[in-house]
Amino acid sequence: MLPHDPLTKHFRLTTVQLSALKRLGISSIEELLRHFPARYDQGGSESAIAGLVAGTEVTIFGTIGNLETRRSWKRKIPVGEAVIRDASGSIKIMWFHQPYLAKKFHDGMYVKAIGTVTGKTGKPYLANPHVEVADPSEVGLFADTKAPATAGKLFAIYPESRGVTSLWFRHALERVFANGVHSRIDDSIPTDIRARYNLPDIGAALVWIHTPEKMPHAEAARKRFAFEEIFTIQVTRARERAENDTQSSFPIKDGADHAERFLSTIPFSPTSAQKRAIKDILDNFSSPHPMARLLEGDVGSGKTLVAATSAHAVVNSRPPNRQSGTLQVAYMAPTEILAQQHFQSFIEFFSHLPINIALMTGSGCKKFPSKVSKGKATDISRAQLLKWVASGEIAMLVGTHALIQKAVKFQHLAFCIVDEQHRFGTRQRRALAHKGDAAPHFLSMTATPIPRTLALTIYGDLDISVLDELPPGRAKVKTVIVTKEKRAEAYESVRRELASGRQAFVICPRIEEPDPAKIHALQAKSAKAEAKRLQKDIFPEFRIGLLHGSVKPAEKDEVMRQFAAHEIDILVATSVVEVGINVPNATVMLIEGAERFGLAQLHQLRGRIMRSSHPPHCFLLPETAGEVAMKRLRALEKSDDGFKLAEADLENRGAGDLFGRQQWGVTDLGMEALKNPRLIAAARAEAQKLVAKDPSLSNYPALAQRVASAGQELHGE
């Protein structure tokens, strides 16, 4: 047995198991070893069903039966049901939104269930418990005669997929460990680094993480793998940065003078945070290597002004050894509507300059100024625009993804600005950067509030500037938590706002669903149903629009346009939908199922209604009124600092819950590590030191291999 052997070489697998393993990304022995437990259960801690008390978390063993699926009679949501019996009694279990779980088991199977006892006395049930086929070695046949040998023993509980249970993993790994293959994996963390931080080597860590004798062993192993993951990302980022720093860029001189001249043309003065960010950028412009910088700032913090001031310095600079022409700027926005809005803003900012500004999107191209009517933009053909971009006549090109097509070639591209970069993958970013001869300075802008440790990790190759201050005089969003009884009142306030000519967003909940493929469909359904209900029962007099993840891009743009043009009063949308559109007249937001969101995400959503001088209102409508949920949501009533809220999220709950590993390419274990700033700092410093010494990693083959295989996951965007 070798680490890279396919599982099928050593295990007989059913097609169901094969596809389940594939979903979990496991096809080799090493990948099996790297599928880590989500948590551990202690044997001997189970309860007898007869004695269960509502409100407690319990582990029970018993036979499962009465399996069925149906829809709940009140809310019509799909539910899976079953009953678990032991010698002492029986209890009902219900899986809301996950009816298929009931099909995973069949009558008479011996199972273990972990969950919280819910419901009134006399009618208790377990809601959404974790249920798995039980290992007879974990327990005696009946709760009151448990086998003493297993009391206190730790059992690994794995992230499962339909078809492979924790029990399957434990048995499979037992065979792998018996074979000794785990000690034949090369350690990707260099020995000296392991020694400095007291990290177990890979062989020991694999045993400890899967079959720990005591919790401290499991913890040490988890720390090692968390470090390994962060270290691997940091090495990748450090190499990207090193590569960046070997390239040369167009020098942009006299930045401070250009900035001063530009800022004197706008009607307000920059905040001190904006001034700092502008200075950071201009300093980078004067260096011979391309800038690689991230500008983080809450919605409304004024990132556009920072971008415009720095772009102004570029379009006022000549290419080297030229008597005419200017350096060029590319500005990439995440949606067509935003590209159009930015095109307009830049026309306003730069209309006094003798330069051409152009817009390129999937649905057409425009140029400013028009030859015939000065002061206006005009439609031009794509072919013509491409020619002018290539000859350098267009100083500033604004657009969407269309900007990174192969056909787009610049003459002297000196500066790339990418708005909301996490929507563009690293690959796309590079594609944009590789046009023209010298490498362009690169500025990425984001309003996504993420904790600092996460920013340092996923944007580890970028320098960071933060806008931690809003321009003065901005109306604060009034945020209120609306309990079930107060719902009608909230709708009345919304009606008043709508009647006085404002517009509203209604955001439908994130749905927790173990199978990501199902999220879109379920969310679409909840948004559709809500739009229908609001139109029929609550707001029949207003025009309601609908946006969700399954709406086609063209249709989505059309709905956004209608909302911007006030042809729609209420926009019902799911959180997966980018509502990053500037509609100053939208001043009300209702967020259904608010407790299902992270604080940072809620904060970002409500940022959409901060753009007007009318006082904005945000209503949070939680589905449950549990103390923990309410406490979390109250933080939003009090704080309006997105980055602080993101830190609070990280502390309160597992980061994995909140940010989603697909989004950032970091596993749940890596996300745990983000709670530990010292670990992040150490991994980063070690990675930078190592890459400075050996950029090609030629002395670290195991690390190079880890970097390569993690890279495939990371660049999956």
Pairing mode of beta strands 394-399, 328-332: parallel
Nearest-approach distance from CB 598 to ligand ADP, in angstroms: 19
The CA distance from 204 to 198, in Å, is: 13
145 Cβ neighbours under 8 A, 6+ residues apart: none
Return the percent helix, strand and coil in the chain, to nearest 5: 45, 20, 35
> How many residues of this chain interact with ligand ADP, rule: CB under 6 A?
14
Cis omega (within 30 of 0) for bond into 267? no
Instruction: Determine the Cα–Cα distance for residues 62 and 60; give it in Å rounded to an integer.
Output: 7
Residue 642 binds to ligand ADP (criterion: CB under 6 A): no
Give the per-residue contact string, 37-56, with ligand ADP (x = CB under 6 A; - = no).
Answer: --------------------
Q: Report d(CA 324, CA 314) in Å as an integer.
A: 14
Q: Shortest approach of ligand ADP to residue 299 CB, angstroms?
A: 4
Do residues 528 and 674 touch, judged by C-beta distance below 8 A? Answer: no
- Alpha carbons within 13 angstroms on the beta-carbon side of residue 315 total 27
Min CB(255)–ligand ADP separation in Å: 19
Q: Which residues of 126-165 are buried (b: 16+ CB within 10 A; e: fewer)?
A: bebbbbbebbeebbbeebeebeeebeebbbbbbbbbbbbb
- Region 332-351 residues binding ligand ADP, contact defined as CB under 6 A: none
Q: Does 303 bind ligand ADP (CB under 6 A)?
A: yes
Rounded CA gap, 98 and 82, in Å? 13
At residue 419's C-alpha, the angle toward residues 301 and 337, to 5°, is 95
For residue 509, the number of C-alpha atoms closer than 13 Å in the C-beta half-sphere is 14
β-pair type (478-481, 586-592): unpaired
Q: 168 vs 331, which CB is nearer to ligand ADP?
A: 331
587 touches ligand ADP (CB under 6 A): no
Does 305 bind ligand ADP (CB under 6 A)? Our answer is: yes
Q: Which is nearer to ligand ADP, 424 or 539 (CB)?
A: 424
Interacting residue with ligand ADP among 166, 236, 244, 304 (CB under 6 A): 304
Would you say 436 or 642 has its CB closer to ligand ADP? 642
Nearest distance from residue 274's CB to ligand ADP, in Å?
6
Tell the smallest beta-carbon distance from residue 583 to ligand ADP (Å): 12
Q: For residue 235, give both structure tokens.
A: 């090495």
Confirm or reject binding of residue 80 to ligand ADP (CB under 6 A): no
Rounded to a whole number of angstroms, the minimum distance from the CB of residue 616 to ligand ADP is 14
Comparing CB distances to ligand ADP, the nearer of 135 and 298 is 298
In whole angstroms, give the CA distance from residue 323 to residue 307: 26
- 135, 139, 117: which is closest to 126 by C-alpha? 117
d(CA 170, CA 267) in angstroms, rounded, equals: 67
Token pair 């690293």 is found at: 426
Spatial distance between the Cα atoms of 196 and 211, rounded to a whole number of angstroms = 25
Q: What's the CA gap between 427 and 420, in Å, rounded?
A: 15
Closest to ligand ADP by CB, 142 or 268: 268
DSSP string computed for 179-217? HTGGGGSPPSS-HHHHHHHTPPPHHHHHHHHHS-SSHHH
Q: Which is nearer to ligand ADP, 280 or 592 (CB)?
A: 280
Select 303 or 367, whichever has its Cβ closest to ligand ADP.
303
The backbone torsions φ and ψ at residue 46, rounded to the nearest 5 degrees and listed phi first, read -80, 160
Q: Can residue 297 be called a binding residue for ligand ADP (CB under 6 A)? A: yes
Judged by CB under 6 A, does residue 707 bind ligand ADP?
A: no
Q: Which is nearer to ligand ADP, 265 or 381 (CB)?
A: 265
What x/- string results for residues 436 through 455 when contact with ligand ADP is judged by CB under 6 A?
A: -----------x--------
CB of 613 to ligand ADP, least distance (A): 10
Token pair, residue 431, equals 């594609």
When the beta carbons of 462 and 673 are compared against ligand ADP, the nearer one is: 462
Instruction: Give the nearest distance from C-beta 270 to ligand ADP in angstroms.
Output: 5
Kindly tell me which residue out of 200, 302, 399, 665 binds ligand ADP, with binding defined by CB under 6 A.
Answer: 302
DSSP 610-634: -SSSSPPEEEEE-S---HHHHHHHH
Name which of 112 and 608 has its Cβ closer to ligand ADP.
Answer: 608
By CB under 6 A, residue 301 contacts ligand ADP? yes
Contact string (CB under 6 A) for ligand ADP, positions 246-285, x = contact: ----------------------x-xx--x-----------
Please report how close the Cβ of residue 298 comes to ligand ADP at its closest, in angstroms.
7
Does residue number 471 form part of the binding site for ligand ADP (CB under 6 A)? yes
DSSP secondary structure letter of residue 445: E
**Phi-psi region at 250: left, alpha or beta (left = phi > 0; alpha = psi -120 to 50):** beta
Specify the residue, 209 or 447, whose C-beta has the smaller distance to ligand ADP.
Answer: 447
Comparing CB distances to ligand ADP, the nearer of 305 and 508 is 305
Answer yes or no whether residue 299 interacts with ligand ADP by CB under 6 A.
yes
Closest distance of CB 612 from ligand ADP, Å? 10
Q: Which is nearer to ligand ADP, 233 or 263 (CB)?
A: 263
Among the candidate windows 91-99, 129-137, 281-289, 292-300, which touches ligand ADP by CB under 6 A? 292-300
Rank residues 236 and 301 by Cβ distance to ligand ADP and give the closer one: 301
Identify the bridge partners of residue 378 per DSSP, sorted by sequence position.
Answer: 367
Shortest distance, position 301 Cβ to ligand ADP, whole Å:
4
Q: At what angle do helices 166-179 and 202-210 cross, to 10 degrees?
A: 150
SS3 151: coil
CB of 239 to ligand ADP, least distance (A): 31
Shortest CB 230 distance to ligand ADP, Å: 29
Name the one range near ligand ADP by CB under 6 A: 13-21, 293-301, 558-566, 633-641.
Answer: 293-301
**Which CB atom, from 34 or from 258, has the smaller least distance to ligand ADP?**
258
- The residue among 235, 228, 285, 298 whose CA lies nearest residue 256 is 285
Computed from CA positions of residues 315, 316, 318, 324, in that sequence, does the dihedral angle turn out positive or negative? positive
Give contact residues for ligand ADP (rule: CB under 6 A): 268, 270-271, 274, 297, 299-305, 447, 471
